[in-house]
Structure 1
Amino acid sequence: MTAPYRTAKLTKNDKPLFVGLMSRAFARDPLFLYIFGDSEVDRKANSRMTAFLSFIFDSSFMLHEEIVGVFEHERLLGAYVVEKPSASKLMNVIGGLLLIGRLVPLLFRISSPPLGLLNAYMRITRSAAPSVPHHYLIMIGVEPEAQGKGIGGTLLLHLLHAANADQLSQGILLDTENKENVAWYRKNGFLLHRETQLHDVPVYCMLYRK
């Protein structure tokens, strides 16, 4: 990719850009449709999804996570959220305590069934995680109209470089519910680590080993 594209970490001021981007990028995602409903036709589903994305953004600044985006001038075209391996248990404990305060408003915007599905999804995917320290790609999304321009590849390459440079990390784990994504991740050095499902939604756990 060439100018005017740039890759940079997101700041707290980028929250509206992130929530808007990911809302559009994941509008037809099988997992999001199953958990939240169709956000393109259902206002409640859209409210639930944006509340969850706002929570993901806020929590990244409290936990050992990082959000990186690709910009065209001031427009956010793609982004990923990654959990990095931490050598500090105290950091994780403090972050977890701060996160409790963010969970309270989320409970009022997302009903119990979607929260139960999210918890079930986390249990399923985390049970597939390797025991060694690793990066966990929480989500990666590209503006629908900007797809096919190499933005997703640029984001993934940036993450691969970060993981390879991290002496603590042994690789990257991610999960996708789109079967067509499996071949793309394999092309970029990932292996299908485990195949499972959340009720009727297939889940493909992909692993990159350094």
Structure 2
Amino acid sequence: MTAPAEVRLIDGGYFRESCSLLYQAYRHTPTFAYLFESDRPGYEQRVRATVRELLVRHFADALPALGLLLGERLIGVALISPPQRRLEITESWSWRMRMLLTAGFRCTRRYLDYHEAVIACLPPGAYHMLPLLGVRPEFQGWHYGEQLLEALQHWCAEDVNSRGIVLDTGDPHCLEFLRRQGYREVGQVELGPVHEYILVHPGPQPPAEKGA
């Protein structure tokens, strides 16, 4: 049986665990392989640096993050960008400078272009975004991903103005998983050979007005 896990808001106290978990979750994805040039030496260092800088900025800006925990062990994490704050990280000059120093100019430019292209695909309205989301590889296939997504949907639905959740993936396996969880495609971005899909999970719809 799958042991029960707890979902709760986490902060910078889980920074190191979150770095390790998200690095493991993203280093083999087609998206990061393209953005950070997996065919060139230093790829793993560039992925580590990017995950670290995104987490540093996320926690420094006091943006929400949900953690999935077995006891005190973090086995899943999701960074959340609320609708009114989803552009803050990439617009930070200090973040851009650290990225240039760690990931290099070309990869930083690729990441910024990718981020802007995803934002351009968003449907109108207030949506939460998930810039990074992952479950430790050894805990995948045990329904923990479904538990984390369900908790995210409930958490974001507490914002009465939210239209739902947006995320993206270039991994065909992940794409099929998300479709099974009720996510629907709203756009595509071409990242070299990678087809990046932008998906939305709609939030609760407000009740129709009488007489409408």
TM-score (normalised: structure 1): 0.86
Cα distance change of structure 1 residues 129 and 98 upon mapping to structure 2, 3 Å threshold: closer
Aligned to 2:32: 32
The CA deviation at 1:98 is 9.6
Structure 2: how far apart are the matches of 1:145 and 1:54?
21
Aligned to 1:120: 113
Assess if the C-alpha contact under 8 Å between 1:124 and 1:198 holds in 2: no
Residue in structure 1 matching 2:175, options 182, 191, 195: 182
After TM superposition, list the pairs within 5 Å mapping 1:3-18 onto structure 2.
Answer: 3=4, 5-18=5-18
Aligned to 1:152: 145
Cα distance change of structure 1 residues 207 and 98 upon mapping to structure 2, 3 Å threshold: closer
The CA deviation at 1:61 is 2.6
Assess if the C-alpha contact under 8 Å between 1:62 and 1:99 holds in 2: no
Cα deviation code 1:14-47 (max 9, x no counterpart): 11101111111112100111122449x95x2222
Partner amino acid for 1:176? Answer: T
1:202 counterpart SS class: strand
Assess if the C-alpha contact under 8 Å between 1:120 and 1:198 holds in 2: no
Percent identity among equivalent residues? 21
Structure 1: how far apart are the matches of 2:166 and 2:120?
12
Aligned to 1:60: 58
Structure 2: how far apart are the matches of 1:80 and 1:22?
9
TM-score (normalised: structure 2): 0.85
Structure 1: how far apart are the matches of 2:92 and 2:106?
21
Assess if the C-alpha contact under 8 Å between 1:63 and 1:92 holds in 2: no
Cα deviation code 1:72-130 (max 9, x no counterpart): 222211111111123xxxx789x669943343333211111111110111121111012
Structure 2: how far apart are the matches of 1:53 and 1:115?
12
Residue in structure 2 matching 1:80, options 78, 90, 109: 78
Which sections of structure 2, spanning at least 5 residues, go unmatched? 204-212
More strand by share: 1
